[in-house]
Amino acid sequence: SQQGEEDPQALSIQEGENATMNCSYKTSINNLQWYRQNSGRGLVHLILIRSNEREKHSGRLRVTLDTSKKSSSLLITASRAADTASYFCATPQTSGSRLTFGEGTQLTVNP
Amino acid sequence: NAGVMQNPRHLVRRRGQEARLRCSPMKGHSHVYWYRQLPEEGLKFMVYLQKENIIDESGMPKERFSAEFPKEGPSILRIQQVVRGDSAAYFCASSPGQYSGANVLTFGAGSRLTVL
C-alpha cells in the first residue's frame, strides 16, 4: 500500500449529515494536507495541519492528526450537495518537496 | 491574478504522434509539478521542476516522456509516440519558491489526453 491511503473509497450521505474520511500514511511527516477535486476539475487545497497540531478547523471542516497512529481524519459537518467531490489527503516526501496523494474518497451528498 | 493555466484542455492524438502539454504557473510561483490521473484513480507524481532545472523526475516513465521549464515561457510536458495507455488527465501544479516547510500546491484545471 502507498503513502496516503483514504478510507472509505466511497461515501454517500444525505444533505445535513456529517461526513468523515480517514487517511493513513507510512513515513514521518511535518504536515498533512487535504484537497478536494470536483468532477473533471483540478484539485483545490482545503486545509493543512502540521505535525505538532492535533486538530484544526476551517469553516465546516475539521481535521485531526494522530502522528502516533500515522492517521488523519477530515470531517465535513452539515454537508451540502455542493460538497459532492473526491477528497484526497497528501503528504510531503520531505520538507518542501513534492506531495504524494492517496487514492481519494468519493463523497456523494444527496439533496 | 490568473491561477495555474494549462493548455490545451483536451487533446486527441493517434498512436505514434506526439503530445505537448503546457503549463503556466501562478504568478510569483517558481516551482512546477506534473501529475497524471487515470479515471477513478488518484494523482501520480511525475516530475518536479524549477526554472531551467529538473529537481525530481522519479515518477517519469523512462522512455517517451520529457519535461522542461525554460527561463522564459511555460513548462512543457512532452510525450513522444503516444500509446493508448497514455490516455489520462495530466495536471500541473505550482508553488512559491519560498516556503516555511509546508508546500501547498495550486493546481490547474488539467489537460485531458485521449489517444485513439
Cis peptide bond N-terminal to B70, omega within 30? no
Picking from A92, A63, A65, the residue whose alpha carbon sits closest to that of residue A3 is A92
- Amino acid B50: pLDDT: 92
Q: From B38, which residue of chain A is nearest by alpha-carbon distance?
A: A103
Kindly give, in sequence order, each residue whose CB lies less than 8 Å from that of residue A93, ignoring residues fewer than 6 positions away.
A27, A99, A100
B41 CB neighbours in chain A (<8 A) are 103
The C-alpha of A46 sits at a distance from chain B's nearest C-alpha, in angstroms, of 10
Taking CB atoms and an 8 Å limit, are B42 and A31 in contact across chains?
no
**A102 Cβ under 8 Å from any chain B Cβ:** yes
B48 CB neighbours in chain A (<8 A) are 97-98
Q: pLDDT by residue (tens digit) across A22-33? A: 999 988 888 999
- Given A42, A96, A97, which is nearest B91 (Cβ)? A42
Cα separation, A41 vs A54, whole angstroms: 30
- Given A42, A92, A97, which is nearest B107 (Cβ)? A42
Per-residue pLDDT of chain B (116 residues; tens, 9 = 90+): 579 999 999 999 999 999 999 999 999 888 999 999 998 788 999 999 999 999 999 999 999 999 999 999 999 999 999 999 999 999 999 998 655 556 899 999 999 999 99
Q: Can you read off the three cell numbers belonging to residue B46?
A: 511525475
B26 CB neighbours in chain A (<8 A) are none
Q: pLDDT by residue (tens digit) across A59-88? A: 999 999 999 999 999 999 999 999 999 999
- Amino acid A5: pLDDT: 77
Cα separation, A59 vs A106, whole angstroms: 21
Strands A105-110 and A10-14: parallel
B104 CB neighbours in chain A (<8 A) are 33, 45, 48
